A = this chain, B = another copy of it.
Amino acid sequence: MTKRVTLKNIADTLNISMMTVSRALNNNPNVDETTRKMVLTKARELGYFPNHIAKSLVVAKTQTIGVVVPEITHSFFPDAIKGIEEIVYQAGYNIMLTHSAENTNREIAAIETLASRRVDGILASVAESDTEYQIYRQVIDMGLHVVFFDRCVYNIGASCVSIDDEESAFKITEHIIRHGYKKIAHLRGPLSVSIAKERLNGFRRALRKYKISYSDKLIVESGFHEEGGFAAMQRLLGLPKKERPRAVVAVNDPAAFGAMKAIKEAGLRIPEDIAIVGFSDDIRAELMPAPLTTVRQPAYEVGKAAARKLIAHIENKKESVENLTIRTELVIRKSCGCEIPSNGKSQNSEVKT
């Protein structure tokens, strides 16, 4: 921040009061048109930029939204941020972006700085490692508006926008079941993260509905990344032949990619020996040797909806806290054993294997 021209500078050179200058610049109707023109001209001439900091201090509003993401480079987040930016820009807000790097302490520090910077609200997606949410309670109690997106914390007085994880996992598992597979494994994420838990629930519900028995041995933790998926799949492949899964439902696409690598390295074919499906429709999914059947998450829409909800909370005291859900779409490709339907998006292919 360097020395700048102020309202007072303009007022002095024009021999009028600061207030008149302020009013002229803010399109206040109670200003003579001649004076307004004069002020506008002089302001431009002097290179005046309003000091938004000073204004924020007076009006106790910063027009700023704090955003907390766990990992900017996860394909989901750039799209979500773009959606957020689109909405807040139109509403006259700006984004303060923070990155927790999946680290709880950094996330807490981020929330604290955002609170100190008096953002009008926070859009947050929590880190994998989070186990307690005291800091969110604290800022929410202070009256700061929080809306979670994608990875939510529930029952804490904040709205949440996410995809219907449980239902989506149910649907893709159901799709797999309809292929006739009986031994189906699940690579699950860390259960401290809401989406991991819900996808697991959806997986289980589908098995129950179709009365497929399963042992807990077929549910292994992979985390959200390729390496974890690879390791988890290796463990499954290390099972006695009879217990090995015929199909795998992965918690997300990266985990599925890792698993596919492990399957390949074991000399097995996808989907002939082992079918697999992912979750998220990563940009790489359709380019895999066996293009990956997966769930498309509308990240951009999630970002937009979350931003809209947050702004509603900010601008309307009585906006109700609620959990919003954004529809996903099943993307059918070869990895599940389907013939690819013409548009690759049919939801009802039933292929026996």
Contact = CB atoms under 8 A, between A and B. Distances in A.
A253 to B, nearest CB: 12
Give the copy number.
2
A144 B2 contact: yes
B4 A117 contact: no
A94 B66 CA distance: 10
A120 to B, nearest CB: 6
A251 to B, nearest CB: 20
A241 to B, nearest CB: 31
A316 to B, nearest CB: 14
A121 to B, nearest CB: 10
A79 interface: yes
A116 B287 contact: no
A64 B56 CA distance: 15
Interface string A138-173: 100111100000000000000000000000000000
Interface stretch (A44-52, A177-185, A199-207): A44-52
Contacts of A1: 56, 60-62, 118-120
A208 interface: no
Contact of A85 (B4, B52, B62, B97): B97
A97 B96 CA distance: 6
A82 B112 CA distance: 20
A116 B288 CA distance: 47
A8 to B, nearest CB: 14
If over half of A's interface residues share one DSSP class (helix, strand or loop), that class is named, otherwise mixed; here it is mixed
A95 B62 CA distance: 15
Contacts of A78: 72-73, 77-78
A106 to B, nearest CB: 8
Interface string A38-60: 00000000010111111011001
A35 interface: no
Given A3-B143, A81-B72, A57 B54 contact: yes
Contacts of A47: 138, 141-142
Interface string A69-112: 00011000111011001100100001111110000001000001
Interface of A: 1-4, 47, 49-54, 56-57, 60-62, 64, 67, 72-73, 77-79, 81-82, 85-86, 89, 94-99, 106, 112-113, 115-120, 138, 141-144, 283-284, 287-288
